[in-house]
Amino acid sequence: MTDTQRQPTILCISTYEKGQPFLKEAARLGARVILLTVDALEHADWPLESLTKLITMPERLTPEQVLNTVTYLARTEAIDRIVALDEFDLEVAALLREHMRLPGMGESLTRNFRDKLAMRVSAKQKGVPVPEFIGVFHYEDLRSFLRNVPGPWLLKPRTNASAIGIRKIESPCDLWPILDELGDLQSHYLLERFVPGDIFHVEGVTWNSRTLFSAPYKYGKPPMQTMHQGGIFSTRALDRESSDAVALGKINRQVIEALGLVSGVTHTEFIKSQADGSFYFLETAARVGGAHISDVVEFASGINPWVEWARIEVATLLKMEYTLPNLKEQYAGSVICLARQEHPDLRSYDAAEVVQRLERHHHAGLILQSRSAERIEDLISQYTLRFLEDFCAVVPPPDKPTA
């Protein structure tokens, strides 16, 4: 229990450079913030003025080695709460909470927001529509699945983020050589029916098991297609009154309730089937969406998910009530790609709705804001075509996470 005579301390873990708004807000609200990151990011753009301590560790430490690092730190620092700022640190944060008996998601609950098989099982048990799936365990069950569920299928890593490592299986005979190649790692995959359709995402804020904020967006090209074939990443806010927005709000609440999140932020993806027009749950994460989605949400709704996450963590720690700020009703979207140029010139993209130009090495990116969802859609369509001609570079997809 937190000693009321001292400031509460939040240990943040991130092996990627992200979460600066969280760090700043947690410190502004009075928490001592310690950041544990990797040696390579010691001099990254961290808000040092907001950090009580910045501690680094070698990359690729085992969970047990990270546990030793943190429990050694705990000899001199009273840690009250642990937050993983990146999806790939969720499991080690859960291990630390379990070991140190700290509040927050333990290892079993964390699986619902990290393990694609666990989240599908939990969602399906609560009646949430999901594409047919099966864990890669018993081969006769796999053969039955391939016979009874029409292809093609997707072989998905259970714990990779985004579309990294996903393989499309066109024929049953294509599966077995891949499983042989995976060897002992094959049980860390699931097989799922491929559902053609458009991909949507919902950015959410949950407090005391109640969804307070649920903002629906639609991707341009599916992330899996962008990851594997290159091209333009885009997303845009849906018209709040549209049937798709209403349906997504409903199914998103079902998902969060089914998976058992108490308080926090979520990034959840759904597919709208071309065949029947229904939404199916794909995956979720108890984190802020990447690819500048938090900036898009802020321009559309007036709240930054990183900041709200920090407010939730501090409110929980201090046993205070959390309330969502007043929202604004704008619309926003983004267009982003890997660029051939080291410093792409975006000055000719000069619509009044351009509110931010992303300055990042070998990347071109814009964020747009308008009072009209239709105007955002129109601009994204125009700029996507122009980005392809002006900037877009393609590199082979990664086999493992790089950011």
Per-residue pLDDT at 76:
97
pTM: 0.93
Give CA–CA dist 240/46, Å, rounded: 35
Residue found by looking up tokens 């790089």 in the block = 402
Sort 378 into a burial class: Cβ within 10 Å, 0-12 / 13-18 / 19+. Answer: middle
CA angle centred on 113, ends 240 and 70, rounded to 5°: 125
Per-residue pLDDT at 166:
93
Give CA–CA dist 199/216, Å, rounded: 11
Per-residue pLDDT at 177:
97
Give CA–CA dist 133/126, Å, rounded: 15
Report DSSP letters for 279-318, one per residue: EEEEEEESS--TTTHHHHHHHHHS--HHHHHHHHHHHHHT
Per-residue pLDDT at 235:
98
Which residue positions in the chain have pLDDT lower than 50?
1-3, 228, 402-403
Residue type, 238: L
Residue found by looking up tokens 């666990």 in the block = 118
What tokens were used for 155?
A: 């072989």
Q: What is the crossing angle of helices 243-259 and 116-125, to 10°?
A: 100
Q: What is the length of the chain?
A: 403
If you ran DSSP here, which 8-state letter would residue 392 be given? B
Per-residue pLDDT at 212:
98
pLDDT tens per residue across span 14-60: 999 999 999 999 999 999 999 999 999 999 999 999 999 999 999 99
- Where b means 16+ CB within 10 Å and e means fewer, 335-361 reads bbbbbeeeebebeebeeebbebebeee
Q: What is the CA radius of gyration of the chain?
A: 21
Task: Pick the closest to residue 188 from 114, 96, 290 (CA basis).
Answer: 114
Domains of the chain: 9-110 (3.40.50.20), 132-193 (3.30.1490.20), 197-390 (3.30.470.20)
